[in-house]
């Protein structure tokens, strides 16, 4: 009886564990695409792009003093956990004239973490609205050209989100007012899209090695 137990522990359980994890990888689900081919941020700033980047996109607006808490929530709950991944970036689209406020915010964020992948782009209201409309979401910008919601954009400039969210059904963005939403939903979705690209890279490498 003891020998049988030892054999199960040594051989059967590792095999079951392997099959379980292998099955999980093979059946890995992608984060749904909600809007294909949004406009590139290069129309606002030629030195920046969404192409070939995993981007967290936000619009903090002119009332940056009020939205600072949103930026800090995003920094602590999302950015700090993922900024070291290749091709990950955080882009905030800001109205012209907010440059001094942004410099203050960057200094405060810089006291908390390495902000090299935080990017702030500046444009006039009309250009911001045009770019925002290309996301085709159910979210609106306020009069200060801001929103507490941020969006996940993949390397092909597609907006990713949820089609079966338990609270909203179709979920285009994540509310940075809510630490719980960042912790319980957005973090999971960023992990999914990062894992999706890692899995695709592994498959491509394996295919190249076989050739």
Quick: pLDDT tens for 148-159.
Answer: 999 999 999 999
pTM tops 0.75: yes
Q: What is the per-residue burial (b if ≥16 Cβ within 10 Å, else e) of 122-161?
A: bbeeebbeebbeebebeeebeebbbbbbbbbbbeebbbbb
pLDDT digit string, tens, across residues 70-120 = 999 999 999 999 999 989 999 999 999 999 999 999 999 999 999 999 999
The DSSP bridge partners found for residue 118 are 90
What pLDDT score does 42 carry? Answer: 97
pLDDT of residue 126: 98
* pLDDT for 28 beyond 90: no
The CATH number for 33-210, chosen from 3.30.460.40, 2.60.40.10, 2.60.120.10, 3.40.30.10, is: 3.40.30.10
* Under 8 Å between Cβ of 87 and 54: yes
- Where do we find the tokens 């002119």? 62
For 133-172, write each residue's pLDDT tens digit.
999 999 999 999 999 999 999 999 999 999 999 999 999 9
56 Ramachandran zone, left/alpha/beta (phi>0; psi -120 to 50): beta
């Amino acid at each position: 009886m003891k020998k049988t137990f030892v054999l199960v522990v040594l051989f059967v359980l590792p095999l079951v564990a392997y099959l379980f994890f292998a099955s999980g990888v093979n059946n890995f689900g992608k984060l749904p695409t909600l809007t294909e081919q949004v406009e590139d941020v290069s129309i606002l700033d030629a030195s920046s792009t969404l192409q070939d980047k995993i981007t967290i996109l936000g619009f903090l607006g002119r009332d940056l003093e009020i939205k600072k808490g949103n930026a800090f929530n995003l920094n602590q709950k999302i950015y700090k956990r993922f900024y070291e991944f290749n091709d990950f970036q955080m882009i905030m689209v800001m109205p012209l004239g907010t440059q001094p406020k942004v410099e203050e915010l960057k200094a405060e964020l810089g006291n908390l973490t390495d902000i090299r992948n935080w990017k702030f782009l500046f444009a006039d209201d009309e250009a911001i609205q045009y770019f925002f409309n290309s996301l085709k979401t159910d979210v609106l910008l306020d009069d200060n050209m801001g929103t507490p919601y941020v969006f996940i954009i993949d390397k092909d400039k597609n907006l990713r989100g949820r089609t079966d969210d338990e609270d909203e059904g179709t979920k285009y963005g994540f509310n940075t007012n809510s630490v719980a939403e960042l912790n319980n939903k957005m973090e999971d979705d960023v992990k999914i899209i990062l894992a999706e690209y890692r899995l695709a890279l592994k498959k491509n490498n394996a295919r190249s090695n076989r050739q």
